[in-house]
Amino acid sequence: MDKLNSMKVFMQVARLGSFSAAADNLGISKAMVSKHIKRLEDNLNVQLFNRTTRSLSLTEVGTVYRDRIKEILNDIEETELSVSKLSSEPRGTLRIMAPTSFGSFRLSRAVTEYLTHFPNVNVEMLLAERTPDLVDEGIDVAILIGALEDSSLFARKLAEARMVVCGAPEYLDSKGIPNTPDELSEHNCLIQTTRVGETWLFKSDNGYKRIDVNGTLKSNAGDALRTAAIKGCGLVNLPMYMVDKDIKNGRLKTVLIDYEAAKRPIHAVYLHRMHLSAKVRTFVDFLHERFKDNPLWA
């Protein structure tokens, strides 16, 4: 039991990168955290962390140990739930990560509704414009938009995000309405650096046609570009889930409606395990049912 507790302490230090942060998270003293780590290192006769006055990082052996321990602790948790007949009832902390715009515009509402159905689950939602390392960051479920690259993860498709090009009526009155994608070269295109980039895709007879665009504003945050477009700064190419209300209320107007922009798949991604925890399984199922038939996205 003492070794199991030390393993849990080790995982917190590895995840947070700090003895002090792990102590605060676990509600124990920093000295006790150090004692647990020293006990493990003495028993294993290895050094798990590289320590300096300013930084703390895993050694190569520590990285291997962390990956194996995570599996062991997950197996223990699932076994305890099964034995106590709680595996069918989701509980505990669910750590999720999603792109900032999707999290703000859609996921936060879904999470709120999920929590009303499963009151024994606590959600920690992280929003960032990057693909997380599920193991290193302790993420249970990540929402990814676009093509998937890491085949070692298990993914479930939730929906498709329909991309639309739009601008404020004032901008279109001043600069004119593009009739073909090629005419975008004559417009100020606001560019999302982390997702769509400086090449916008439109469906053609030969697949998708790539249109290079440029403009006076680039940002990794889609909502910043959306706000700029509403203010008349230029055209944006954003997913419909971000701009549907703006289009309905007349703040933005779609253009190039005869040219379908590329659709981007939305997936829930998690570690491929034989037995998913109830909290992960129910959350992914909930998102799939909520999002799969949304006509605004498709």
Q: What is the 3-state secondary structure (H, E, C) of 53-64?
A: CCCEEECHHHHH
Residue range(s) occupied by CATH 1.10.10.10 in the chain: 2-83
> Would you state the structure tokens that stand for residue 92, as one six-digit string?
């505990």
Residue 220, token pair as written in the block: 């990794």
Q: List Cβ neighbours of 53 (8 Å cut-off, separation of 6 or more).
A: none
Question: Using CA atoms, how far apart are residues 8 and 2, in angstroms rounded to an integer?
Answer: 10
What are the helix and strand counts (H, E) for the chain?
11, 13
Calculate the average pLDDT of the chain.
Answer: 87
One-letter amino acid identity for 94? L
The 3-state secondary structure of 77-137 reads HHHHHHHCCCCCCCCEEEEEEECHHHHHHHHHHHHHHHHHHCCCEEEEEEECCCCCCHHHH
Rounded CA-CA distance 156/7 in Å is 31
Please say whether the beta carbons of 201 and 261 come within 8 A.
yes
Its pTM stands at 0.65
Per-residue confidence at 296, pLDDT binned at 50, 70, 90?
Answer: low
Cβ count near 211 (within 10 Å): 22
Which of 49-58, 231-240, 266-275 ranks highest by mean pLDDT? Answer: 231-240
Residue 253, CA distances (Å) to 28, 256, 263, 280 in order: 56, 10, 19, 39
Q: Comparing 25-29, 189-193, 274-278, which segment has the lowest mean pLDDT? A: 274-278
Q: What torsion do the CA atoms of 77, 79, 81, 82 make, to the nearest 10 degrees?
A: 160
| Token pair recorded at residue 158 | 């939730």
**295 pLDDT tier (thresholds 50, 70, 90):** low
Distances (CA, A) of 155 to 136, 150, 215, 219, 270: 18, 10, 35, 28, 6
For residue 161, what pLDDT is reported?
Answer: 85
Output the pLDDT for position 195. 64
CATH of domain 2-83: 1.10.10.10
> In the chain, which residues fall in CATH 3.40.190.290?
90-298
pLDDT at residue number 283:
94
User: In the predicted model, what is the mean pLDDT of residues 52-62?
Assistant: 89
The pLDDT > 70 percentage for the chain reads 92
pLDDT of residue 87: 54
Distance CA 116, CA 104 (A): 19
The per-residue pLDDT for range 62-83, each reduced to its tens digit, is 999 999 998 888 888 777 766 6
pLDDT higher than threshold 80 for residue 111:
yes
pLDDT tens-place string over residues 120-174: 999 999 998 888 888 888 889 999 988 787 667 788 999 888 889 999 999 999 9
Q: Looking at residue 261, what DSSP letter applies?
A: B
> Would the pLDDT of 293 be above 60?
yes
pLDDT category of residue 88 using cuts at 50, 70 and 90: low
State in words which class domain 90-298 has: alpha beta
